[in-house]
């Protein structure tokens, strides 16, 4: 087993262990911190996959933005020292059963499916793995991603980019309207 594979298994163990702690911890603040570790581990997984830009976005948006927002809202709405109530026993048992069934089912499906190994044909196009395809790998640098995201040609993503900016604007205005305090004399 090479060093790269060892790094992958350590990273995935870290992600899964901290993720499990994040959904089972009884203290809500600790739960948020475990989520922070899990998201950082996922950023490490993107680095391992040589997607540096996605890893940077993951760190900036998730670790620096969403988790901080969650921690702020914990401080605004909870006594963070108090334990959360334990889940109802029957609900916990059935959730574990459902989750294990789903996981095993998905793993069986994954085992049975040959991802690009067989050179399966689909609509006249040959699907092949990265080694067999012979196409040079595109360089996933910020320059390439930015040029394709703002290009108006056939494989450009300028329309989704604009749609997402409208969505972000709508979300921003919506947040302000929802969280705005109505003064008692105006009610």
Partner 1 sequence: MSQVPLSHILVVSTALFFIGMYGLFTRRNMITMLMSVELILNSVNINFVAFNKYLYPDKLEGVFFTLFIIAIAAAEAAVAIAIIINLYRNFHSIDVEDAGKMKF
Task: Work out whether 4 is an interface residue with partner 1 (CB under 8 A).
Answer: yes
Binding mask 106-125 for partner 1 (x = CB under 8 A): xx--xx---xx---------
Among 10, 118, 149, 162, binds partner 1 (CB under 8 A): 149
Among 65, 119, 121, 150, binds partner 1 (CB under 8 A): 65
Per-residue HEC secondary structure of the chain comes to CCHHHHHHHHHHHHHHHHHHHHHHCCEHHHHHHHHHHHHHHHHHHHHHCCCHHHHHHHHHHHHHHHHHHHHHHHHHHCCCCCECCCCCHHHHHHHHHHHHHHHHHHHHHHHHCCCCCCCCEECCEECCCHHHHCCCCCCCCHHHHHHHHCCCCCCCCHHHHHHHHHHHHHHHHHHHHHHCCCCHHHC
Task: Work out whether 15 is an interface residue with partner 1 (CB under 8 A).
Answer: yes
Closer by beta carbon to partner 1, 106 or else 121: 106
The residue count for binding partner 1 (CB under 8 A) is 88
Task: Work out whether 76 is an interface residue with partner 1 (CB under 8 A).
Answer: yes
Task: Work out whether 131 is an interface residue with partner 1 (CB under 8 A).
Answer: yes
Closer by beta carbon to partner 1, 81 or else 110: 110
Among 37, 40, 46, 152, binds partner 1 (CB under 8 A): 46
> Binding to partner 1 (CB under 8 A): which residues in 90-109?
91-92, 94-96, 98-100, 102-103, 106-107
Residues paired with residue 83 on neighbouring β-strands, in sequence order:
27
């Amino acid at each position: 087993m090479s060093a790269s594979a060892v790094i992958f298994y350590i990273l995935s163990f870290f992600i899964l262990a901290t993720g499990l702690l994040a959904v089972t911890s009884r203290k809500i603040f600790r739960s948020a911190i475990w989520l922070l570790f899990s998201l950082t581990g996922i950023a490490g997984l993107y680095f391992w996959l040589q997607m540096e830009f996605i890893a940077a976005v993951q760190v900036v948006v998730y670790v620096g933005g969403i988790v901080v927002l969650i921690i702020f809202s914990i401080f605004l709405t909870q006594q963070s020292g108090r334990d959360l109530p334990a889940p109802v026993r029957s609900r916990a048992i059935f959730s574990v059963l459902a989750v294990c069934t789903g996981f095993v089912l998905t793993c069986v499906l994954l085992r049975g499916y040959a991802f690009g190994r067989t050179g399966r044909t689909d609509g006249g196009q040959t699907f092949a793995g990265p080694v067999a395809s012979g196409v040079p790998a595109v360089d996933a640098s910020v320059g390439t991603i930015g040029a394709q995201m703002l290009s108006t040609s056939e494989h450009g993503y300028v329309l989704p980019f604009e749609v997402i900016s409208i969505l972000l604007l709508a979300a921003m205005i919506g947040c302000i309207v929802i969280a705005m305090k109505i003064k008692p004399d105006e009610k």
